[in-house]
Structure 1
Amino acid sequence: MKTHKNIRLVTIITLLVIQVVFLTMIAKEKYEVGSFAILISVIIITVAIFFGYRYLDLHHEEYGYERIGVAIWVPIGAVLCYSLNIYGGLGSVLSAGITGTVASFIPVLNKDSIYIKKLPGAIYCGAFVGMSSAEITPSIGFVIAAGSLTGVLFMVSKNLFLGIGGKLGTLAFAGVAMVSLLYWLFI
């Protein structure tokens, strides 16, 4: 039970830190370097996000994880969308739309399968990774790495942020941001 609680806490803190860093970079870009307004803005945003995570009913109390067999479809959706976007020249929005639409018809293949009914969400989460611009995701290897990390986040966040719009996009953003940081640090 303690392990599950720690996994949940690490997931929430990771997403919180990524959001705060991203919003800080936006504020820093807008204001002059060393501006006091940046510090105040970051503090207000951080406090608001913290209280949102802490006091809003965003999570179920039980600990549940998505099966790895479902999460493995996140990088598959990412590669499919990226391929349509970059190699097919369709653009990111159309590529994500095609990927999501095709994924939505997968449950028709076997209406009784609980497993197959879970695949469209995972594939669509991957589509958000794959629709990143070519400047952010320079290679298919990057997309596979970001999709895999997003798949792990998808797996551990099954009972987090329920009923909140933007969960799949937030997970995809977190995966791409973390892999971008790793590429920047080590490659």
Structure 2
Amino acid sequence: MNRHKTIRTIFIFFLLIIQVVFISEILKENTHSLGIVASMIILSILVLITHLRGEIHHKDHAYEHVLVALWIPAGAFVTFYLNHFLKLGPVLSAAITGSAASFIPNLRKQSHYLQQLPAAIYCGAFIGMSSAGVAPNFLFITTASIFTAILLIISKNLFAGVGGKLGTLAFAGVAITSFLYFLISSYV
């Protein structure tokens, strides 16, 4: 029990750090606009209040099944291919991937496993939406998908009912991979 609570706390702290870095970069680019700075501060306070007072976490901690999380790369690869090779653009590519994934549970309506796949595939679609400047190749997409899959496995019962969880996990996976690529390129 205590181990699960520690994992939950570390994961929430990790997402907080990712969000703070993201907001800091936005503020760094837009410091000339007082409205943007004020909006970010207000938004951060509201998110903190929601986290402290909202019922966004289950009491018990469960993990997403590994076989579900393995579908994240499929969504990422398909979206990346549609986006960069067929030049459909990131939004349309993710929409096509997500729409196609939504029909998977209809293949066998009694299958609990198939019911869970659309969310994992759509999470991967967010990775595939990355620009070529951020995600230049399939190796990057694979690495980001692995990190995102790990985060999805850990976060099954966290942020229940809060929109944006899949996109945030994909963003975190891409951010971790970008950081690793930066470190590797700095030392090579």
Same fold (TM over 0.5): yes
* Residue 118 (structure 1) shift: 0.5
Aligned residue number for residue 72 of structure 1: 70
**What amino acid is aligned across from residue 149 of structure 1 in structure 2?**
F
* Residue 141 (structure 1) shift: 0.5
**What amino acid is aligned across from residue 180 of structure 2 in structure 1?**
L
Aligned residue number for residue 136 of structure 2: 138
Aligned residue number for residue 93 of structure 1: 91
Mapped to 1, the partners of 2:110 and 2:179 lie a distance apart of 42
Q: Structure 1: 5+ residue runs without aligned partners?
A: 33-37
Aligned residue number for residue 13 of structure 2: 13
Mapped to 1, the partners of 2:119 and 2:51 lie a distance apart of 23
Change (3 A) 1:42 1:163: closer
Corresponding residue pairs, total = 184
State whether residues 16 and 50 of structure 1, in contact with CA within 8 Å, keep that contact through their aligned partners in structure 2: no
Aligned residue number for residue 35 of structure 1: none
Mapped to 2, the partners of 1:68 and 1:61 lie a distance apart of 22
Identity %: 51
Aligned residue number for residue 183 of structure 2: 185
Asked if 1:110 is matched to 2:108, the reply is yes
Give TM-score scaled by structure 2 length: 0.89
Q: Structure 2: 5+ residue runs without aligned partners?
A: none
Give TM-score scaled by structure 1 length: 0.89
Give structure 1 regions of 4+ aligned residues with deviation exceeding 6 angstroms.
38-45
* Residue 51 (structure 1) shift: 3.9
State whether residues 81 and 99 of structure 1, in contact with CA within 8 Å, keep that contact through their aligned partners in structure 2: yes
Aligned residue number for residue 2 of structure 1: 2
State whether residues 31 and 37 of structure 2, in contact with CA within 8 Å, keep that contact through their aligned partners in structure 1: no
State whether residues 150 and 174 of structure 1, in contact with CA within 8 Å, keep that contact through their aligned partners in structure 2: yes
Asked if 1:26 is matched to 2:63, the reply is no
* Residue 127 (structure 1) shift: 0.3
Q: Which moved more, 1:91-100 or 1:52-61?
A: 52-61
**What amino acid is aligned across from residue 22 of structure 1 in structure 2?**
F
Mapped to 2, the partners of 1:150 and 1:76 lie a distance apart of 12
Mapped to 2, the partners of 1:185 and 1:2 lie a distance apart of 34
After superposition, the C-alpha distances for 1:33-87 in whole angstroms (9 at most, x for unaligned) are xxxxx99998776655444323322111111111000001111211111111111
Mapped to 2, the partners of 1:107 and 1:72 lie a distance apart of 16
State whether residues 127 and 171 of structure 2, in contact with CA within 8 Å, keep that contact through their aligned partners in structure 1: yes
State the superposition RMSD in angstroms: 2.2
Q: Which moved more, 1:23-32 or 1:134-143?
A: 23-32
Mapped to 2, the partners of 1:45 and 1:90 lie a distance apart of 33
